[in-house]
Structure 1
Amino acid sequence: MELSILATGIVRILGITALVILSYSMVIRNFPNGWKKSAAIGILFATGAILSMNDAVMPAPGVFFDGRTALLAIVYPYGGLIGTVIAALLIAAYRIWLGGVGVVPGLLSILMLCCVSYAAARVPVRKIPVGFGRSTLIGLAASLSIISVVLLPGEVVATIVGAPLIAVILANIANVVIIVNFLEREKSRLRIIRALEHEASVDPLTKLQNRRAFDKAALRAMNDNRAKAAHCSLIMIDIDHFKTINDRLGHYTGDTVLADVAAIIQKNVRLGDVVVRYGGEEILLLLANTKQDAANALAERVRSEIENTDFVSGSESVNVTVSAGVASLGEKYASMEALLKAADKALYHAKLSGRNRVEVA
């Protein structure tokens, strides 16, 4: 086999893995963490491997060198167990379909690569940091799968050993290094983007979401209501006499009280509920799939807990109460704008009625 043909094939393999890298960035942006993301990564890596197998280097009839080695060697750290199993099964099925004398060695190689991938994920980053050294070691370990060629007929092995075999091993190592480098860069870039998005949507004092985040959540809630007829409720909460707290005890104490009130509210809601610092000392709760009675009970529970909490700032102990207005989507209020106005109006009535109470729109 001419080395020029092998070199050309290796370049094609690297081109296909570049497409996998580009597609990976789309997967991690559009799939939340969980089994769906793992499955998508497994399918992606399998697709890249299968495309590479269709354009493989063939040193002998039925024997293939392609990009599956590098992709399988790193699938576990990125796709987890689910992604690894999916990738391995799809690649194995396609290798069986291709046939040839290399089927059994190919399947053994797939199994060995999955083991290498799992082992690589178990090595702590503190011992071998992510980078060129770690990638090179993974590539070297992945190249051990080449020993499966011993299962081939002797005359086939004779056409592989020597310079072609060394070149393929080096190409596999280089492929792993290149892929891992770009995948890690993409993960790092996504972490930065998500951190910036988090900062842009979170109030720094209360750690609650801000109005920008509420607008997105409200749009999702309205779409869910139209599609699933799910219930949705709003609770608007305002700290009573908050200006007096600021004027009498200072803004530092006021900020502390506001943050503590926010923490109490956050503690009482579900994971999927949206709690927003809506403005000043106003806090807005968007409760998806929550009926009016449940929203009323939550507002009353929060009001009572805040009333019975001693807020301490330095040497000062502060008694705090809140008023709340509750409104729910339904025949009376069919839009988020109407719901906001209704909750705000109910809060206004709670203030007029003596404060430290919950009013329902």
Structure 2
Amino acid sequence: MDADASPSRRDPNALRWEALRAWVLEAGLARANLFYTCGVLAASMSISGAITWLAGRSVATALAATAVCVLSVAPLTGYVVLKLLYELERSRQTIRQLAITDELTGSFNRRHFREVGEVELLRARRYGTPLALILIDADHFKRVNDTHGHQCGDVLLREISLACRATLRSTDLLARLGGEELAVLLPQTDLAGALAMAERIRQEVARLALAWRDETVEATISLGVAALRPEMTSLDALLHEADVALYDAKRSGRNRVCGARWQTAAAGVAG
């Protein structure tokens, strides 16, 4: 199913409630409570005035009494209800963030990467826009763990992830696929642009110097780059080409960027 079309197929009532919830959250607690109080006041006075008028009694007195009651109760109840809504939304956002985040590096996790990646691939294929992928693997990471301990390895991997994020655009997606392997999804980016981005990341990581127990631990990474081709129908195909390019980077000496073999040759791009 096309991800872009799915929202229009949802229940219209659910969409309206979602829009109302979004508006309330965007308005803020104070403004939302004010609108709630005004709404309750208007509805209560309308009903009270209609009943009083039908009963032939003094409408002004009834409306005044209704206003006093509503203004005494509505702000307090509205504040309590809306505060619970805001707290629930914050909890929901926190839970969602934890569900899509890799605990060690603070980057996105593998599951979220695949979900977003499939959507971006469908969008790129539908609109004919470029999409690229970078696979990143820390060089000699086992040696770091064996020499300095796994805690040092964890810190180093976190620093590598931070260096990557500092280089990327806000639209790019960085995720940890497992172990010391990271992936970057680059929407609206062709092969040449992805290779340039990968080189900037490589240089940024190469400048790392982690102070660890009176020693300096340096890091380098190898990067494999691939761009979406028309015949690719899944994220796995794009991952496979980037993985082959990553293997080439490892085999040719590490601390370098390699593009997918036939793509770099066809595009006349160094990689």
Question: TM-score, with normalisation over the residues of structure 1?
Answer: 0.58
Mark the structure with the bigger radius of gyration. Answer: 1
CA distance in 1, matches of 2:24, 2:232: 32
Q: Which residue in 2 is equivalent to 1:59?
A: 49
In 1, Cα distance between equivalents of 2:131 and 2:76: 50
Which residue of structure 1 aligns with residue 192 of structure 2? 293
Larger relative CO (CA 8 A, sep 6+): 1 or 2? 2
Query: How big is the shift at 1:230?
Result: 2.1
What is the total number of aligned residue pairs between the two structures?
236
- Segments of 5+ residues of structure 1 without an aligned counterpart are 1-21, 64-157
Deviation at 1:56, TM superposition (A): 2.2
Aligned to 1:56, the other structure's residue is in SS state: helix
The residue type equivalent to 1:160 in the other structure is A
Quick one: distance in 1 between partners of 2:154 and 2:139?
14
| CA distance 1:331–1:220, change in 2 (3 Å) | closer
1:182 and 1:193 mapped to 2: Cα distance?
A: 16
Over residues 97-125 of structure 1, what are the superposed CA-to-partner deviations in whole Å (9 max), with x where a residue is unaligned?
xxxxxxxxxxxxxxxxxxxxxxxxxxxxx
For 2:99, the equivalent position in structure 1 comes to 200
Query: Is 2:48–2:66's contact at 8 Å kept on the other side of the alignment?
Result: no
- The answer for the alignment partner of 1:215 in structure 2 is 114
Alignment deviations for residues 226-276 of structure 1 (CA, whole Å, 9 cap, x no partner): 343222111000000000010011111111111111100010111121100
Aligned to 1:275: 174
Structure 2 distance, partners of 1:255, 1:232, is: 30
Could you say which residue in structure 2 is the equivalent of 1:137?
A: none
Offset at 1:30? 5.9
- For residues 181 and 338 of structure 1, what CA distance do their matches in structure 2 show? 51
1:276-333 per-position Cα deviation (integer Å, ceiling 9, x unaligned): 0111000100111111111100101111221233222232201211100001112353
**Cα–Cα, structure 1 residues 174 and 210, in superposed 2: closer, same or farther, change >3 Å?**
same
Quick one: structure 1 residues 170 and 29, their matched pair in 2 at CA, closer, same or farther if it must change by over 3 Å?
Answer: closer
- Say whether the 8 Å CA contact 1:235–1:327 is kept in structure 2: yes
Quote the offset at 1:165 in angstroms.
Answer: 1.1
Match of 1:151 in 2: none
- Select 1:225's aligned residue among 110, 124, 140: 124
SS at match of 2:125: helix
Amino acid at match of 1:308: R
Match of residue 26 from structure 1:
18
Alpha-carbon contact 2:44-2:70 (below 8 Å) kept: no
Distance 1:228 1:251 in 2: 45
- Provide the residue aligned with 2:10 in structure 1: none
Change (3 A) 1:220 1:173: farther
**Structure 2 residue aligned with 1:72:** none
1:160 pairs with 2:60: yes
Give the secondary-structure state (helix, strand or coil) at the position aligned to 1:57.
helix
Partner of 1:182: 81
Maintained 8 Å contact 1:24/1:183: no
Q: CA deviation at 1:334?
A: 4.1
SS across alignment from 2:49: strand
Percent identity of equivalent pairs: 31
For the residues of structure 2 that align with 1:28 and 1:269, how far apart are their CA atoms? 34
Match of 2:207 among 305, 308, 327: 308
For residue 194 of structure 1, report the CA deviation from its aligned partner: 1.2
Question: Would you say the 8 A contact 2:206–2:220 is kept in 1?
Answer: yes
Q: Would the alpha carbon gap of residues 193 and 293 (structure 1) be closer, same or farther in structure 2, given more than 3 Å must change?
A: same
